[in-house]
């Protein structure tokens, strides 16, 4: 088995382990013994499977893989159980750190540190950093900017009766701005029109049943969101020489 085949297989095992754990969640009223059993059942198969893959690189690599994966999974999952269940904590502890551990373990077992360094250098190229800064600007900074612009009209709009999922509007705004930004950078203007039309259709019944100030408030927010995304995308394209 080649080194390049080994890494995707290790990542695939991690994803299958996550799916298996999500299909069998820990009961809410589980005692300490049940928590330990659940943690072990989640960590042990993944550690054994990755260890079996790394045995192709030698006995030491296999044993190292088993110990590292088992201990890291037990520690990270214990942290997830004891911390508040937020999206950031779940993503960092459940996906980001485990994937980083798998990649580092693969690099150490196969002695491919040079390839890992080259990949990081590629990510740190000016072009990639420009795109990353543009995308990050469209998250919380843009949300704060739009909220600041809409503040004078907020007192004239009664949103108390508007039923909505908690923080769903913020996430929708993030996604629509990132999608519009990506389409502008790629030059896919027709896709932006499709995205705007899709949101208009989804909002049609809401704005038709709502009062006029609410409809105008939603329209202002949508135009500001898309306008900022398009402007940021054009700025990034200009910096990239596109």
pLDDT in tens, the chain (242 residues): 677 788 889 999 888 888 877 767 666 677 777 777 777 877 888 899 999 888 888 888 889 999 999 999 888 888 877 777 777 787 888 888 999 999 999 888 888 888 888 888 888 888 999 999 999 999 989 988 988 888 877 666 655 555 555 567 788 888 899 999 999 999 998 888 888 887 777 665 555 555 556 667 777 888 899 999 999 999 999 998 86
| C-alpha triplet 4, 7, 8: angle, nearest 5° | 95
Which one of 70, 92, 114 terminates a domain?
114
Does residue 56 form part of some domain?
yes
Does residue 119 form part of some domain?
no
Specify the pLDDT at position 151: 82
Does residue 168 form part of some domain?
yes
Token pair of 60 as six digits: 């030491």
Domain identity same for 104 and 130: no
Domain identity same for 32 and 89: yes
Specify the pLDDT at position 182: 94
Does residue 166 form part of some domain?
yes
Domain identity same for 134 and 98: no
Specify the pLDDT at position 207: 53
Number of domains in the chain: 2
Does residue 121 form part of some domain?
no
Domain identity same for 164 and 206: yes
Which one of 76, 92, 114 terminates a domain?
114
Does residue 100 form part of some domain?
yes
Domain identity same for 45 and 77: yes
Token pair of 232 as six digits: 């940021």
Domain identity same for 163 and 185: yes
Torsion angle, alpha carbons of 57, 59, 65, 67, to 10: -170
Please tell me the chain's helix, strand, coil percentages from 3-state DSSP, rounded to the nearest 5.
Answer: 85, 0, 15
- Residue showing tokens 């929708």: 172
**Domain of 23?**
3-114
Domain identity same for 205 and 163: yes
Specify the pLDDT at position 186: 92
Token pair of 146 as six digits: 């739009």
Find, among 228, 227, 206, the residue nearest to 218 by Cα. Answer: 206
Does residue 156 form part of some domain?
yes
Domain identity same for 52 and 136: no
Domain identity same for 131 and 236: yes
Domain identity same for 105 and 152: no
Q: Under a CB-based contact definition with an 8 Å cutoff, are residues 173 and 218 in contact?
A: no
Cα separation, 87 vs 84, in Å, equals 9
Specify the pLDDT at position 220: 84
Which one of 93, 114, 135 terminates a domain?
114
Q: Under a CB-based contact definition with an 8 Å cutoff, are residues 101 and 72 in contact?
A: yes
Whether the CA torsion 156, 161, 167, 173 is positive or negative: it is: negative
Specify the pLDDT at position 164: 54
Domain identity same for 110 and 192: no
241: left (phi over 0), alpha (psi -120 to 50) or beta: left
Does residue 120 form part of some domain?
no
Specify the pLDDT at position 231: 95
SS (H, E, C) 152-174: HHHCCCCCCCCCCCCCHHHHHHH
- Residue showing tokens 């700025």: 235
Domain identity same for 76 and 17: yes
Phi, psi of 210 (to 5 degrees): -80, 170
Cα separation, 124 vs 122, in Å, equals 5
| pTM, to two decimals | 0.66
Cα separation, 190 vs 35, in Å, equals 51
Cα separation, 105 vs 90, in Å, equals 22
């Amino acid at each position: 088995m080649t080194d390049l085949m080994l890494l995707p297989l290790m990542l695939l095992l991690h994803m299958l382990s996550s799916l298996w754990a999500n299909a069998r969640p820990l009961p809410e009223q589980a005692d300490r013994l049940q928590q330990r059993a659940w943690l072990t059942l989640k960590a042990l198969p993944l550690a054994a499977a990755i260890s079996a893959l790394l045995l192709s690189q030698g006995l030491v690599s296999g044993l190292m893989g088993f110990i590292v994966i088992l201990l890291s999974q037990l520690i990270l999952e214990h942290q997830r159980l004891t911390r508040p269940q937020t999206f950031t904590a779940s993503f960092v502890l459940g996906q980001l750190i485990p994937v980083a551990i798998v990649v580092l373990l693969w690099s150490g077992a196969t002695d491919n540190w040079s390839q890992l360094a080259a990949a990081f250098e590629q990510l740190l190229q000016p072009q990639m950093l420009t795109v990353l800064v543009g995308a990050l600007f469209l998250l919380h900074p843009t949300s704060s900017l739009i909220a600041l612009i809409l503040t004078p009209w907020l007192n004239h709009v009664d949103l108390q009766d508007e039923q909505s999922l908690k923080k769903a509007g913020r996430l929708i705004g993030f996604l629509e701005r990132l999608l519009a930004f990506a389409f502008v950078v790629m030059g896919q203007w027709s896709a932006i029109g499709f995205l705007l039309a899709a949101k208009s259709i989804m909002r049609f019944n809401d704005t038709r049943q709502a009062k006029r100030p609410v409809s105008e408030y939603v329209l202002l927010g949508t135009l500001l969101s898309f306008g900022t995304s398009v402007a940021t995308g054009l700025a990034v394209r200009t910096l990239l020489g596109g």
